Chains A and B, each alone.
Chain A
Amino acid sequence: MTTSSEKVQLPPGTLVKGKWNGKKYRLERLLGIGANGQVYLASLGRSVCALKFSDEAAELQGEANVLASLDHTGKKRGRVPFLLDVDDFTLDGRDLPFYAMRYVPGTPVSAYLKRHGSQWMGVVGYRLLERLAELHEAGWVFSDIKTDNVLVHDYGAVELVDFGGATAAGRSVRQFTEIYDRGYWSAGSRTADPAYDWFAFAMLWLHALDGKRLLQLTRALLPQNRHPGELMKLVRSHPRLRTMEGWMEKAFRGGFQDTREALLEWRQAIRSSERTAKSSESHVPGWMAGLLAGSVVLCAAVAAVWFLQ
């Protein structure tokens, strides 16, 4: 299997002049390598952007088409465009197709939660659902939600990358990651609908917060036993996820009216889970209560001894 990672990388400083549109980019550094291409941080004059290169002209163009269509609907909401340019770079007499997009700073969601703590799950999830709601309302399903494709920065701001899998609602999902896929868990079809993303969204938290046990589970289960019920067992036995049990169950079942409702209920679930976390903190911890009881007994004993004397 040949993957892009085996192909030559372009060194920092490379000047990339577009064959058709003539824009001149300077490559700063490699941002990531995927199955389909290489992504670089690049500068254009004084602005920065990300360039994605791939040998597969048609595939790359398909991705650019999705981005263009999203930008088109996003314009009405006052969003800045994501897709900036589509062109070819002539390298050693060969044309290498690429497109330029907005640079998305940030770290994959699981790394972010590890560094900053799982209390960020609420905000990050909220922002991500907001973004998904926009996509869904525009008739698209992201479909390949996974930790690498959800980048988080600055106090939980979220952006999605890799729209190669984005699928128009009603079409068959074209790119997915097995453990995030509801078909894999016998929980529904691979026809793109908002519920497909809800499922993967729920898996995102299971993967980010309880990845080890999730991977163990997928290895241990026979295919015919893969079922959301097994996932709920993990949820119920995890201290943080347990507080979101109701929401997670509904996401696995595809039980929301639409993504706005999922967003609203997410907010409520997060709020009430924070409240239970607070109230359990205000309780006197067991060891302290024990100490107190002990000292009361001691006191009484001392008093008794003193009284009897």
Chain B
Amino acid sequence: MKQILLITDGCSNVGESPVSAAALAFAEGITVNVAGVIDEGAIGEQGAVEIAEIAKAGGGMSRIVTTHQLSHTVQMMTRQTVAGTIRHAVNQELKQLFGLDSVGALPPPKRAEVVRVMDELEETSELRVALLIDASASMKPKLHAVEDAVRDLALSLQSRNGRSAVAVFHFPGDFGHLPCVLDCGWTTEAGKLHSMFTRIRMKGTTPTGPALLQVVDFIRETCGIIKSELLEPPHIERGDNEEVRSDYVV
């Protein structure tokens, strides 16, 4: 499973639309979540709309939170997205095989069985989360909270049974020709992520769209073809009698 988590505080102002970039990511099997961070005041209306749109196009979710809530929100969004991706795959399988809408349409004993398998997948499936951090000037006072959230997420991922890794990018890039910079490639160690933003130089522009596209390229290059291994759909077989039987290969 692949996710991009965008942490920003406002509107993009250069390059491609971040909404269509997120849609492209989703088409390639990557879910895009967005955390909008605010200090005290509210996020601009335009920014709030864009944040919601990016997540919608990226098949993910968005939350607008204060710096204090950021760690917990990032961790929850990641976890819920994993659960959501699995639920989606299982529901699709149920629909194809039995014409059922969702897990909820199964009789409770079968539901119990299917959910047990879903929980198993949630814990053991491979997971990669690329964090894309807006480091434009207005984000400067919030970067400590962002760093803390990244460490916290790494801690949560470390404790999973399935292989999990994070990578960290920030944008805009240093030299102008790249929209974003890789701060840390795929890693499983939270300890590695100390003071990763020391070399950030604040710039004015916010090329959210181009940065998203660059991260998608990175994931494609480092994780092979994504779509086919997005999630091995669990095999649900029809039993010999009418009763719905489930049989899983995990």
Interface set of A (CB-CB < 8 Å, partner B): 1, 20-21, 57-59, 61-62, 64-65, 68, 86-88, 95, 97, 170-174, 178, 183-184, 189-191, 222-223
Contact = CB atoms under 8 A, between A and B. Distances in A.
Contacts of A173: 159
B104 A189 contact: no
Interface string B96-114: 0000001111011001100
A20 B152 CA distance: 43
B79 interface: yes
Contacts of A62: 115, 118-119
B13 interface: no
Kindly name the residue among A57, A68, A178 whose own CB sees the greatest number of chain B CB atoms within 10 A: A57
Q: Give chain B's interface secondary structure class.
A: helix
B160 interface: yes
B159 A61 contact: no
Contacts of B102: 57
Going nearest first, the 3 A-B pairs with the smallest beta carbon separation are A57-B104, A223-B148, A190-B159
B111 A61 contact: yes
B156 interface: yes
A190 B104 contact: no
Nearest to A63: B115
Interface string B112-146: 10011011000100000000000000000000110
A232 B24 CA distance: 50
Interface of B: 63, 71-72, 79, 83, 87, 102-105, 107-108, 111-112, 115-116, 118-119, 123, 144-145, 147-148, 151-152, 155-156, 158-161
Contacts of A86: 108, 111-112
A54 B72 CA distance: 22
A189 B112 contact: no
Q: Give chain A's interface secondary structure class.
A: mixed
Contact of B112 (A68, A178, A190): A68
Nearest to B118: A58
B112 A95 contact: no
B104 A58 contact: yes
A136 B10 CA distance: 46
Contacts of B105: 95
A58 B112 contact: no
A189 B111 contact: no
Kindly name the residue among B108, B144, B152 whose own CB sees the greatest number of chain A CB atoms within 10 A: B108
B124 to A, nearest CB: 9
A222 B79 CA distance: 25
B153 to A, nearest CB: 11
Given A68-B112, A97-B104, A171-B123, 8 more contacts: A62-B118, A65-B112, A65-B119, A88-B104, A95-B105, A172-B161, A178-B71, A189-B159
Given A57-B103, A171-B161, A223-B144, A189 B115 contact: no
Contacts of B115: 58, 61-62, 65
Contacts of B158: 189-190
A172 B112 contact: no
Given A58-B104, A61-B112, A64-B112, A190 B155 contact: yes
Nearest to A190: B159
Contacts of A171: 123, 161
A222 B144 CA distance: 9
Given A64-B112, A183-B152, A58 B87 contact: yes
16 contacts: A21-B108, A57-B102, A62-B118, A68-B112, A86-B111, A86-B112, A170-B161, A172-B159, A173-B159, A174-B79, A183-B156, A184-B71, A189-B158, A189-B159, A190-B155, A223-B145
A87 B107 CA distance: 8
A86 B111 CA distance: 10
Contact of B103 (A21, A58, A68): A58
A184 B119 CA distance: 24
A186 to B, nearest CB: 9
A178 B147 CA distance: 17
Contact of A57 (B71, B72, B111, B161): B111
Contact of A61 (B103, B147, B148): B103
Contacts of B79: 174
A191 B190 CA distance: 14
Contacts of A178: 71-72
A63 to B, nearest CB: 9
Given A57-B102, A189-B159, A172 B111 contact: no
A172 B83 CA distance: 14
Contacts of A183: 152, 155-156
A61 to B, nearest CB: 4
Contact of B156 (A58, A172, A223): A172
A283 B64 CA distance: 58
A48 B158 CA distance: 43
A65 B113 CA distance: 9
Contact of B155 (A57, A97, A189): A189
Kindly name the residue among A61, A65, A189, A222 whose own CB sees the greatest number of chain B CB atoms within 10 A: A61
